[in-house]
């Protein structure tokens, strides 16, 4: 083994593949996805960094798909980096087959098309209420005033939680997924787990259809789920729904604030909304996950070993010029809009339909009420890298008198 910046470089890592790369590091107001793709796509397809415990980096579309589709070779048992930084495992996300499919079956009825269709009027009503609440002011901080509220309130309705708990849950989830300090993440997990345990006791014998009651009745193939599994599943549903949707929606809002032509295109042709969402998820991918390699194998001339960690940098997938012609251009009529934000293969995001529904309603109701908006010239946005790339602040402004 060779030493690289204080960390021993494994013998199976060629020196020419080593890069100084920390995916948590991001400038405040840059195009995070573009900066990342340019850095990672400039050299060899696959790279290795000593940062965050030492790991491989997959960023090309074919490699991201390879890892996402082969869950036997690329285990999901721990999806965060550095290892050991998440206090509670996440079920079904951090599980492999056959358990993974059994866990998903417990949650699947809450996310099927009929269930999401039933939620849609409530999502629309909430979106309108939030927008109308700040529309007259001519400004908002989009993340805290809108994007962080919409998905968590919808989860609260799915879980039949009291509205008074919203502010508390938003604070805990933000501290868990975007902590200022490691201590904040630990405290947020402790608080949220305590809250979930109380809910579990209240609904242990419930026959209702809310998501927590469904989980409390959950069964594996040959046994009931344990309380630890149930707690983890509820936590995953809460955190997963908030973080990815909030981040994706905020990147979309930032793009539209900078592009009046795309805004006007959507206003004039609202039928493009679904395509716009897919194209913007391609251009501004948010999700990254880590994998653990389960056995030795060879790929692209590299010797991978069991136990190696891989960062699947899905955010760079949509900017791979080998897969997408002119990948920097946002084209709502692009023929190929594939993206990796919701994953591929058996771990494809269970809540993808709900996320798309929330984002489509956001576009419809926002543009109907605030068609012309821009970034606040005196308060620039902030972005942050990580397991989920985020717009952490997005101050927006618009003429205070906008058409209804």
349 is catalytic: yes
Q: Tell me the two tokens of residue 312.
A: 């699947």
Among candidate residues 349, 372, 376, 382, the one labeled active-site is 349
Measured distance CA(1)–CA(5) in Å, rounded = 13
Measured distance CA(278)–CA(324) in Å, rounded = 14
DSSP 80: S
What 3-state class would DSSP assign to 330? coil
Residue 45 to residues 16, 336, 381, Cα–Cα distance (Å): 12, 22, 31
Side-chain half-sphere CA neighbours of 364 within 13 A: 18
DSSP 272: G
DSSP 223: S
Q: Which of 153, 148, 194 is nearest to 171 (CA)?
A: 148
Among candidate residues 93, 350, 363, 375, the one labeled active-site is 350
351 is catalytic: yes
Residue 132 to residues 84, 135, 328, 352, 403, Cα–Cα distance (Å): 43, 5, 33, 27, 12
178 is catalytic: yes
Among candidate residues 285, 351, 385, 386, the one labeled active-site is 351
Q: Which of 95, 11, 2 is nearest to 305 (CA)?
A: 11
Among candidate residues 88, 173, 192, 244, the one labeled active-site is 244
Among candidate residues 145, 175, 243, 308, the one labeled active-site is 243
Among candidate residues 51, 104, 178, 214, the one labeled active-site is 178
What 3-state class would DSSP assign to 46? strand
β partners of residue 106: none
243 is catalytic: yes
DSSP element (H, E) containing 57: strand 55-58
Active site residue ranges:
178, 243-244, 349-351
């Amino acid at each position: 083994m060779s030493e690289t910046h204080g960390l021993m470089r494994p013998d199976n890592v060629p020196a020419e593949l080593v890069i100084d790369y920390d995916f948590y590091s991001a400038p405040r107001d840059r195009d995070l996805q573009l900066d990342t793709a340019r850095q990672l796509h400039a050299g060899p397809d696959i790279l290795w960094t000593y940062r965050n415990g030492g790991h491989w980096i997959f960023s090309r579309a074919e490699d991201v798909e390879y890892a996402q589709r082969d869950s036997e070779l690329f285990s999901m048992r721990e999806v965060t980096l550095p290892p050991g930084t998440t206090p509670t495992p996440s079920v079904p996300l951090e599980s492999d087959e056959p358990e993974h499919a059994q866990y998903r079956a417990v949650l699947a009825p809450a996310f099927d098309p009929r269930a999401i269709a039933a939620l849609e009027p409530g999502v629309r009503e909430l979106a309108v209420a939030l927008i109308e609440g700040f529309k007259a002011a001519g400004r908002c901080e989009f993340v805290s005033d809108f994007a962080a509220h919409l998905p968590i309130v919808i989860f609260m309705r799915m879980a039949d939680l009291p509205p008074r708990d919203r502010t508390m849950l938003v604070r805990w989830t933000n501290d868990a997924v975007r902590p200022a300090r490691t201590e904040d993440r630990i405290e947020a997990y402790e608080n949220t787990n305590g809250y979930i345990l109380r809910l579990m006791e209240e609904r242990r014998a419930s026959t209702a259809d809310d998501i927590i009651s469904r989980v409390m009745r959950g069964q594996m193939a040959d046994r009931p789920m344990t309380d630890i599994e149930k707690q983890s599943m509820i936590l995953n549903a809460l955190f997963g729904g908030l973080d990815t949707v909030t981040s994706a929606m905020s990147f979309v809002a930032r793009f539209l604030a900078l592009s009046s032509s795309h805004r006007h295109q959507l206003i004039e042709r609202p039928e493009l909304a679904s395509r716009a969402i897919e194209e913007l998820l391609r251009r501004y991918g948010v999700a990254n996950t880590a994998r653990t390699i389960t056995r030795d194998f060879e790929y692209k001339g590299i010797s991978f070993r069991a136990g190696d960690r891989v960062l699947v940098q899905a955010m760079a997938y949509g900017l791979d010029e080998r897969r997408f012609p002119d990948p920097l251009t946002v084209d709502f009529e692009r023929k190929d809009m594939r993206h990796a934000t919701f994953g591929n293969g058996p771990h494809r995001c269970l809540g993808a339909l709900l996320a798309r529904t929330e984002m489509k309603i956001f576009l419809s109701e926002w543009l109907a009420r605030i068609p012309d908006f821009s970034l606040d010239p005196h308060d620039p946005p902030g972005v942050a890298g990580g397991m989920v790339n985020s717009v952490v602040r997005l101050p927006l402004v618009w003429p205070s008198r906008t058409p209804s």
